Amino acid sequence: MNRRSSFSGFLFLCFAMLIAITLIVGCESNIQNKVGSLTVSTGAQEKTISPDSTLIEIASYQVRGVYSDGVTTFSQQSPINTIVINDLLVGDWTITFEGLNSFGTVIASATQMVTINAGYNTTVTFVLTSVSGVGTCELTLSWPVTVTSVHRITVRLTAASSMDVFDVEAFAFEATQVGDIQQIMKTIADIPVGSYALKAQFWDVFDAQIGLTLMETVNIYADMTSTGLFALPEFLFPVEKPTFDPMGGRITPEQTIELTTASIGATIYYTIDGTDPNTTSIEYEGPFTLPHNATVKAIALKNCMFASAIASAVFEIPAAMPTILPVSGTYSMPQEVTLFTETAGATIYYTTDGSAPDTFSILYTGPFMVSQDTTVRAIATHPDFGVSEEVSAEYIIVNSVGLVTVDPANYTVEIIVPPEWTGGPVITNVWARIWADVEPDPTGVTYTWYLDGEEARNQGGEIASTSDYLDLGIGLDRVAIGPGPHSITVTVTAGELSFSDYYWFCASDTATIGASSFAIGDVGPAGGLVFYDDEEDGIDDLPGYRYLEAAPEETEWENRQWGAYGYSVDPSALGTALGYGMPNTENIVSYHDSLGTLYPLKGDYYTNPGAYYFKNDGSVAAKLCADLEYGGYDDWFLPSKGELDLMFTIIRKCCPSDWCEHSYWSSSEFSPTCAWLQSFAWSQWKSPKFENHRVKAVRAF
């Protein structure tokens, strides 16, 4: 046992000595050769401005070394940024580590002195820097076409390690539209190599910044161009500021204000009390009017976008211009002058010496007398309104002093209105006759009528009256009265003297005075003849209406057919009684309009009537009436057989013009080939639809 253990120990000692000798020999060999190794590397480097440009990315690396003897060198390339070089002579080396782009051009480098020790690996980390020189930066600036407020763009490059600063300015008018964006190209040349902070800002025409400031880092490389895109998306801009139309200032109470924004889909909120608007303010839904002076502020909002700047405009609404009564004229006695305005709570100032009125003029507190030739000028003011437009009236008071007597003697005139007018406002477009009562009994005088200071004209645009009465109402020969205050003046001229009287009143759409009845034979609202009153017999034959009015003679048509011969109107037009004219007319027109659809091979009846029957000429009596517009009304229709007979009864009593000499179509159909006809001289009978007769329209009211 002891011998075996001693022998094993001896073998182990021999083996250990052999390994030690081998290691010593190896070390002595490397030391004698005097070589070592080198590992060089670099971290990842940011080389580009977004979007990436492969021209300025490091695609590969190379390491070069020069030994201290100036003769021995090496060079080695690698696609990765860690390179190992073996068997370098011990001593000092100048090592240059370089980055190359995809074209093999050196774009970054670093150099260090490195000492190689025998038998050891030396590890060195290099920080690459761009090679010296100058480069170029090419920028694309873009924004959505929906953003119209961009006026100017400024770009600044600031060097990270020096005082170099480069500024560029661009204007919106330089932009080119590409699809749905506006785009400007700008180039900055001769920029020293290095890293730069790039800042882009967008400005409006008022030099207020819009959107956010864009920041980016740009690396500039020698003899190369760094490119980049500054695309400002819509959501980084604020919503376009609202605009006003009109832009502010003095406007009339009726004038509307419109708000718009160039940002599609934005909602506008506004205030009229000068406070800043928000989502609880008035939502803009369309043009609006202002009740008084106002500072209007508006803001535009849109999801996922910044709120617009607040737009503001100041509007002045003038107070209603005063009314002066009586109107200008020549009067035979002193006149009591009354001033009023429709602006509630307004103050009126006036002058009587012809000077322009202002707030230092006479304060109106009630009616005043004018007993001599006087010009009254007046304005209205109110704290919530602008000063009104000025109004004036000139009065000539004829006294006995210096008066030249004429024959006949002096007259007095008084306007006579219906007695019920004293009970309050009259209805708009009131039907009435106004009289001028002249004393003494006039001979050789002339009459001139005025409405609201202008010579009264009828619906036909002609002077309404030169006689002692004036007719009001709807009709070519009548004067229409709209809502609001009015004055009627009549001037009676006798020789060299003129005498006037006036009457002022109010009209309203909701009034009832003057809205009463017409008598059979009266001129109707449209200027025709009233021939039926539904209340006379106590039976409601015209549901929703009371009167029937026949159109004047000048509206009649001669030589017209009833309609398509051989065809029955569907829905029918067989109704003959009172009240059937209107539905008959509607059915006749609708049926003839649809014939081209019902019989497509024959085509449109109005343009191709012969295809339906060779004697048809395309005229349809009911359609002529339905298309009539006269006296301010377009609700005319062809009367039924019964309605036409009623007209015959009334007309026979007075037989206006030559109505009695002709025959007229009714809207009552008898059969596919015939319809009822009315002769105002004889009676009614059936006539073929293709025969030519007269057509007279009626309306219900």
Q: What pLDDT, in 10s, does the model give residues 119-166?
A: 999 999 988 877 777 888 888 888 888 777 788 999 998 887 777 888
Of the candidates 236, 233, 230, the residue with the CA atom closest to the CA atom of residue 49: 230
Of the candidates 661, 631, 644, the residue with the CA atom closest to the CA atom of residue 523: 631
| Residue 450 structural domain | 412-508
Could you tell me if 586 and 693 lie in one domain? yes
Cα separation values, 581 from 545, 594, 631, 644, Å: 13, 20, 20, 9
Task: Give the model's pLDDT for residue 347.
Answer: 95
Euclidean distance between CA atoms 656 and 462, whole angstroms: 24
The torsion angle over the Cα atoms of residues 579, 582, 583 and 588, rounded to 10 degrees, is 140
> DSSP secondary-structure letter at 257?
B
Give me the mean pLDDT over the 508-532 stretch.
74
For residue range 357-407, what is the model confidence (pLDDT) as tens digits?
999 999 999 999 888 889 999 999 999 999 999 999 998 876 433 333 333
DSSP string, 590-639: HHHHHHHHHSTTT--TTT-GGGT-TT--S--HHHHHHT--BTTB---B--
Of the candidates 123, 102, 145, the residue with the CA atom closest to the CA atom of residue 233: 145
The side-by-side arrangement of strands in the sheet containing 454-455 is 426-427, 497-508, 484-494, 446-451, 454-455
Least confident stretch, 31-45, 277-291, 365-379, 636-650? 31-45
Tokens of residue 143, six digits: 């924004």
Task: Give the model's pLDDT for residue 481.
Answer: 86
Pairing of strands 121-125, 35-41: parallel
Of the candidates 121, 124, 118, the residue with the CA atom closest to the CA atom of residue 91: 118
Domain total of the chain: 6
Of residues 18 and 42, the one with the higher pLDDT is 42
Least confident stretch, 54-58, 269-273, 283-287, 436-440? 54-58
Task: Give the model's pLDDT for residue 374.
Answer: 92
Question: HEC string of 451-505?
Answer: ECCEECECCCCCECCCCCEEEECCCCCCECCCCEEEEEEEEEEECCEEEEEEEEE
Least confident stretch, 15-24, 54-63, 470-479, 508-517? 15-24
Helix (H, G, I), strand (E, B) or coil at 211: strand
Task: Give the model's pLDDT for residue 426.
Answer: 81
Q: How many CB atoms lie within 10 A of CB 401?
A: 5
Which residues are CB-neighbours of 675 under 8 A, at least 6 positions away? 562, 563, 665, 666, 667, 668, 669, 686, 687, 689
Of residues 439 and 247, the one with the higher pLDDT is 247
**pLDDT higher than threshold 70 for residue 26:** no
Could you tell me if 624 and 690 lie in one domain? yes
Backbone angles phi, psi at 589, to 5 degrees: -65, -45
Of the candidates 660, 665, 467, the residue with the CA atom closest to the CA atom of residue 557: 665
Q: H or E segment at 652?
A: helix 641-654
Which residues are CB-neighbours of 128 under 8 A, at least 6 positions away? 42, 45, 58, 97, 98, 99, 108, 109, 110
Residue 151 carries which side chain, given as an amino acid letter?
A: H
**336 domain residue, yes or no:** yes
The C-alpha R_g of the chain, in whole angstroms, comes to 51
Task: Give the model's pLDDT for residue 420.
Answer: 73
Give me the mean pLDDT over the 407-417 stretch.
69
Say if residue 326 is preceded by a cis peptide, omega within 30 of 0.
Answer: yes
Mean pLDDT of the chain: 83
Could you tell me if 497 and 568 lie in one domain? no
**194 domain residue, yes or no:** yes
Task: Give the model's pLDDT for residue 652.
Answer: 63
Which residues are CB-neighbours of 486 under 8 A, at least 6 positions away? 451, 452, 504, 505, 506, 507
Euclidean distance between CA atoms 409 and 500, whole angstroms: 15
**pLDDT higher than threshold 70 for residue 104:** yes
**pLDDT higher than threshold 60 for residue 111:** yes
Task: Give the model's pLDDT for residue 690.
Answer: 95
Q: Is the pTM value of this prediction over 0.85?
A: no
Among candidate residues 289, 316, 343, the one where a domain is terminated: 316
**pLDDT higher than threshold 50 for residue 695:** yes
Q: Are 318 and 389 in contact (CB under 8 A)?
A: yes
For residue range 43-87, what is the model confidence (pLDDT) as tens digits?
544 443 333 344 457 888 999 999 999 999 999 999 988 999 999
Q: Which string of b and e fits 313-345 if b means at least 16 CB within 10 Å?
A: bebebbbbbbbbbbbbbbbbeebebebbbebee
Percent of the chain with pLDDT over 90: 40
Helix (H, G, I), strand (E, B) or coil at 285: coil
**pLDDT higher than threshold 80 for residue 637:** yes
Euclidean distance between CA atoms 391 and 346, whole angstroms: 15
**pLDDT higher than threshold 80 for residue 423:** no
Q: Are 201 and 168 in contact (CB under 8 A)?
A: no
Could you tell me if 574 and 693 lie in one domain? yes
Of the candidates 675, 586, 593, 678, the residue with the CA atom closest to the CA atom of residue 636: 586
Helix (H, G, I), strand (E, B) or coil at 4: helix
Given the structure tokens 């020999």, which residue do they identify? 25
Of residues 586 and 397, the one with the higher pLDDT is 586
**pLDDT higher than threshold 50 for residue 489:** yes
Q: Are 624 and 562 in contact (CB under 8 A)?
A: no
**pLDDT higher than threshold 80 for residue 467:** yes
Task: Give the model's pLDDT for residue 298.
Answer: 95
Euclidean distance between CA atoms 597 and 119, whole angstroms: 108
**25 domain residue, yes or no:** no
Among candidate residues 295, 316, 337, the one where a domain is terminated: 316
Euclidean distance between CA atoms 35 and 33, whole angstroms: 6
Say if residue 51 is preceded by a cis peptide, omega within 30 of 0.
Answer: yes
Could you tell me if 304 and 284 lie in one domain? yes
pLDDT level of residue 576 (50, 70, 90 thresholds): very high
Could you tell me if 45 and 168 lie in one domain? no
Task: Give the model's pLDDT for residue 84.
Answer: 94
**pLDDT higher than threshold 70 for residue 567:** yes
Could you tell me if 552 and 612 lie in one domain? yes
**513 domain residue, yes or no:** no
Could you tell me if 268 and 124 lie in one domain? no
Give me the mean pLDDT over the 470-499 stretch.
80
Task: Give the model's pLDDT for residue 407.
Answer: 36
Task: Give the model's pLDDT for residue 612.
Answer: 93
Helix (H, G, I), strand (E, B) or coil at 665: strand
Burial, 390: exposed, middle or buried (Cβ in 10 Å; 0-12, 13-18, 19+)?
middle
**162 domain residue, yes or no:** yes
Q: What is the CATH number of the domain that holds 124?
A: 2.60.40.1120
Of residues 225 and 76, the one with the higher pLDDT is 76
| DSSP-assigned beta bridge partners for residue 695 | 557
Task: Give the model's pLDDT for residue 235.
Answer: 64
Residue 91 carries which side chain, given as an amino acid letter?
A: G
Give me the mean pLDDT over the 530-553 stretch.
82
Give me the mean pLDDT over the 632-647 stretch.
90
Q: What is the CATH number of the domain that holds 357?
A: 2.60.40
Could you tell me if 232 and 368 lie in one domain? no
Among candidate residues 508, 538, 572, the one where a domain is terminated: 508
SS3 content of the chain, % helix, strand, coil (to 5): 15, 45, 45
**441 domain residue, yes or no:** yes
Give me the mean pLDDT over the 565-578 stretch.
93
Q: Are 240 and 262 in contact (CB under 8 A)?
A: yes
Q: What is the CATH number of the domain that holds 453?
A: 2.60.40.10
Could you tell me if 168 and 296 lie in one domain? no
Euclidean distance between CA atoms 572 and 583, whole angstroms: 9
**339 domain residue, yes or no:** yes
Task: Give the model's pLDDT for residue 502.
Answer: 79
Could you tell me if 342 and 294 lie in one domain? no
Could you tell me if 362 and 457 lie in one domain? no
**29 domain residue, yes or no:** no
Task: Give the model's pLDDT for residue 377.
Answer: 96
Task: Give the model's pLDDT for residue 94.
Answer: 96
**pLDDT higher than threshold 90 for residue 1:** no
